[in-house]
Every structure is written in C-alpha cells, then in structure tokens.
A and B are shown apart, each in its own frame.
Chain A
Amino acid sequence: MKANEKKLVILAALVFAALVLFRLVPWAQAYYVEGQNEIARLERQIDRYRNLIEETGRWMEREESMRERVAGLDAWVFKGSTPPLIASSVQQELRKAGVASNVSVRSLSAPRYEYTDGWLRVNQQMTFTIDQDNILKFLNLLEQTRPRLLVTEFSISRNRREYTGNITVTGFSKLPGAKG
C-alpha cells in the first residue's frame, strides 16, 4: 500500500470514526431510549388494562349509577331556541318560586350569560323582601324547581320587621349542536 493510499485509508477511518461517534452513537442511544420509553408505555398500558379488567364490576356499577343520575338530568335543563328565551324561562321560574313563597320581588337584573363547551349558563339576580317564615319555603321551592335553578349567591338581612334579600340563580341550557 502506498503512502498516499495509507493516508487515504487513515482519513477514511477517521471520518468513519467521527461518523460513528457523532451520528451513529447518539442515534443508537436515542433509538435505545425510544425503545425503553415504548416498553414503559406498553407496561403502563398493560397495567391500566389489568386494573380495568379487575375493576370491570365497579365500572358496570358506576355505569348503572350514572345512567340513573343522568336519566333525571334532562328535566334540569332549560329549553329555548335563543339565549334571551332561555333567560326569560329562568326569570319565570324564579318569579314563580318567589310568588309561591310570598316573596315580594323588588327588582330583577338583566340576565348574565356564560358560554362553555356545549352549555349556556344564565345567571339571574333578583332582590326581594320576604317574611322570616317564608325564607326556608322559598329556598326549598327553588331546590325543587324543574328546570333546576342553582343558587350561586344568596344574602338576606333583617330590616325592622321584614327581611330584604338578594339572590342569584344559575340555569343551564344546552347549546345547539352540543355533545350528546
């Protein structure tokens, strides 16, 4: 082998060594780590499935329970084609509960809308006066209202013989095209 050829061979060996050191080794390391991660992922997945199999009975019970809960939920939801109509329904239900428990409505504020994924939340505030004896009745009526009015804020203070109160309730309505 001539000197020039030897030099070329040494140069090629150096290039190869550099390639191995800077490309092949990091690649191999990354490939190995990738494999280890995949193993860890599969092990986690298997553990998850194993637990799932062990908990099949629990999931069956949970599904039954959920179905029972959900069956009545449709009645909790306000129906309406537009948010103002829904807000009107919320106001009506609130007023009905008030009338039924001898609440004197002093004012109703403008409804406040909150949009989330698939839902419209209508917040309605009302100020009122009420006798002490009717407070619990009013609150119980709200609890029983269908569609449901959920109390977000409630305050009441005694002013001489009567109580002045302020309540904010929230009604839920599904947005058109929402999930489910």
Chain B
Amino acid sequence: MKLPLPLLESFAPRDLGARLLDLYRAGTRADLIRRTDYSLVVFEDTLIDTESGASREIVASEGLSRPEAIAAAAGAMLAEKDREVPVLLLLPATAFVATAYAMTNLSEKMIRSALKLQAHSLLPGFVGDLLLGLDASAPEGMALWLPAATADSFFNAFRQQGLFLAGIMPRTLAVIDPQAQVPDLVVSDNDSSHCTLMHCHRGVIRSLHSISRRDLAQEEFSRQWQELSEASQLPESRTLTQVSDWTGLRQKVSGHLPYSFLPAGSEQAGRRLEQQKNRRILGAAALAVLLLLCVPFMANWLKIRQLEALSANFVENSAEARSRQEAVFAMENEWGELLSYPDQDVAALLLSLNAVIESSLISFAINKGVVDIQGYAQDPAFLVEQLAAREEFYDVTQSGRVSGGNSSARGDSFGIRMNLANIDFKSYDAKYPARNEASQAGLR
C-alpha cells in the first residue's frame, strides 16, 4: 500500500512493531548505561575505580582467564559496596576491532544494518556473533566490534563475583565529552603494550589507530606512527600514559551509548530492570488510579464527618427551640382533633344571610359546610351575585327552580346552594378518620 505521506510511509504498519521494539531496546540500553554506578578501567594489570581512584591489581593465575582475573579484582575492589548496582567496564581500545565506514545518504538504521550484514566479510577472522558499537548519526566514522562471546565471558565472570556488568566500553572514550564546547579532540592512550590514537568529533570516533609497543621498535612502523601522530595533532588533545592519569579522573565515567557493548545477559537484566520499572510505574499508576477513584468516596466521607459535626452543633444550639416545638406538637397531638374540628358558627351565618336576604327565607340548612337556602327575592340572580361576592362563601349556585310567586311583593322563589369558606370537613375526616364503631364495642 502506498501511503500519501513519506512520514506515514516510513511508519508503515509492518515496520511499526519493529520500530517500537527498537525504541524499546534502545530505551533499555540507554537506561542500563545511565544506571551504572561504578566505572572500572583496566590499565595494564591494574583495575581502577575512576570515581574513587581506588585501584586493585589484576592477578593472572593459571586456570583463570583474563575476564575472570579482571572480575576477581573487581569483586575484591567492590567487596564492601552494593554489589547489585550496574558496573561499566572500560577496556583498552585494543580489545575492540575498529573498521572505518563511509555511507552517505543512509539512515542510521540502514548504516547499522549494512555494517552488520558486512560484519563477517569485514572481519573474516571472527566466526562468532559480533557486537557492534557505532554512532551512525555521522555518515562516516569508525565502527567498533566486540565478539559477543568475549562480552558474555566478562558478564559471566562478573556474575560469578556477584557483580552485575552492565556494559563494556573502550577506556579511551572515558575522557571524551560529546557535549564539550570544542568539537574535536585527539586522545593518545598508551600503556606498556600498546599505543592508541583516537580522534573524536562531537563524541563520534572519526579515526582510531592502535599499535603495539613491539611493532614500534621497528623503525618503519615507528616512523609511520610518528607521522600519524603529527598529522593527528589538534589544538585539543589528551594523553593518558600512566595509572595516575586514570586514578586522577575522580569521576564516574558515563557510558557513551553508541560505543557501549552490552552482553546478552546484561541486556536481559536490563529488560528485567525495565520490566521492574514498568511494573513500578504500573503499580504507581494503579495506585494513583485507585486513589483517584477513592477521591469521591473520601470527599463524601469528609463531607459527612463535617456535616455531622455541624449538625451536632446545631442540635445543641436548637435545644430550646426543639423543646418548645415538641411541646407544641405534643399539645397539638393531644388536642388537635378537638381544636381543629370545623366550628360552624350558625348564628353568625344566619345574621349574615339576613343582611342580604331581608327576612324572606323559607328554609335554611347547613350540613358540614354546605349551606342550602330557599326563599323569595326580587332578583334571585342578583342575590346569587351578592352572596358570591361575600368572602365567607364560595361555589354559590342556584339549586332550585326560580318561579314567580303569588304576590309580586314577595318576588320570585329561589333555591341556592353554597359552601362555607374555612369549613373543611373533608380534610378533617381525612386527618382524623373514624374507625368502625363495632370494633370499639368493648369500650361501651
């Protein structure tokens, strides 16, 4: 599938997994190298802790390989220290094989892949797996190689000593600072057996030359080396020739990631560390989520506690009012039924009607707030209007047929029904319902 954008094409789904894996591995490597707590330099037969300046002789004995001897010295040196912490081992540059490369217009990954593919044609003498150390950010420079078996032998030897070897790096790089203001630096790293010249540009090894002291004894080689040394002279250079140059470093060497070689065991440990870190992050995230989920409940709990305290305060302060209220309620409860019985003041009602009807009533009846009257009036409709206008009545209606009377003086007969305001037997009966009379027969 052709994706419309080159960027998207470069992240095609089929490559994405591999890229993520590369990123993960690179992250693991970087994390492992960054975590190193000890940097130990091998200088001739001495192992030096660059931070403390402490040194220990590497004792070679029969039946003990070089990695085992170095690991034994490291074990003795770090006997008092925390042995679980990662160690960076700085070996002479001659322990590595360097090959030059120049690959323009290729990505870092492509350069790395190309070099790995060419590994056995570049270095036909090595049959096993080779680890590649390379800063492919530059199109040309030096690639370093280390047999995986060598790296593993160092890792295993250190593990036997109870130490964790995180990585291996050429010691010459110990004095290179990729972030230094002066970009170019030449380091002359010499010991009793070899001389090394390394030219770095912003942390990238541009050239690396090594010669044994024995070869230097030959005039031709000596001359060539001299010419090379003179040609490599730069304003900034550093020379390391004796133990004191290393013991005097007095700083922990940070591994240069591109040129750090991680044994397989170290990578595994790194992955374990990464997994542990991930687990810790996950655990912390889970804890954070759990705490976040608990926030509403805790907020509820705090609010309830606060309101309870406030409520207790109000309860205390309202004691007087409550006792008064309770007394009122108790009296209402005791006497309410009698007090709230609708009191129909019939005498007042008759007087009120008399004012409107002027003694022409034939009959009057009131039954639980409903008043029925009959009589004579000159204008019954007007009478209804008059009664409806009075606030003590509502729902005033004519209940009987209006008919002319025998005497014109008496007017027409009428029947009117109306309800008394403020008299509500329905509500009273609902509030105080009467029980079946028979059930209380025993009281009679």
Interface residues of A (CB under 8 A from B): 28, 31-32, 35-36, 38-39, 42-43, 45-46, 49-50, 52-53, 55-56, 59-60, 62-63, 66-67, 69-70, 73, 76-77, 82-84, 112-121, 135-136, 139-140, 143, 150-158, 170, 172, 175-176, 179-180
Contact = CB atoms under 8 A, between A and B. Distances in A.
Given A143-B345, A158-B362, A113 B310 contact: no
Given A113-B440, A136-B347, A172 B338 contact: yes
A63 B335 CA distance: 13
Interface string B327-361: 11011111101110101111100110000000001
B321 A59 contact: yes
Nearest to A137: B347
Contacts of B332: 66
B321 A151 contact: no
B378 to A, nearest CB: 19
A141 B363 CA distance: 21
Given A113-B437, A154-B365, A175-B443, 8 more contacts: A35-B304, A42-B308, A59-B324, A114-B435, A116-B434, A155-B364, A155-B365, A170-B341
B181 interface: no
A59 B331 CA distance: 13
B339 A135 contact: no
Nearest to A157: B363
B304 A39 contact: yes
B307 A43 contact: yes
B14 interface: no
For the complex, would chain B's binding face be called helix, strand, loop or mixed by DSSP majority? helix
Given A39-B307, A43-B307, A76 B338 contact: yes
Task: Output the residue of B331, B345, B346 with the most chain A CB within 10 A.
Answer: B346
B65 interface: no
A133 B303 CA distance: 73
A136 B351 contact: yes
A135 B325 contact: no
Contacts of B363: 155-158
Contacts of B324: 56, 59-60, 62-63
B239 interface: no
A45 B309 CA distance: 12
A63 B328 contact: yes
B311 A39 contact: no
Contacts of B315: 49
A134 to B, nearest CB: 12
B94 to A, nearest CB: 44
Contact of A179 (B334, B368, B435, B440): B334
B321 A55 contact: yes
B443 A70 contact: no
A115 B434 contact: yes
A66 B307 contact: no
B439 A117 contact: no
Given A52-B325, A116-B435, A39 B333 contact: no
B367 interface: yes
Interface in B243-294: 293
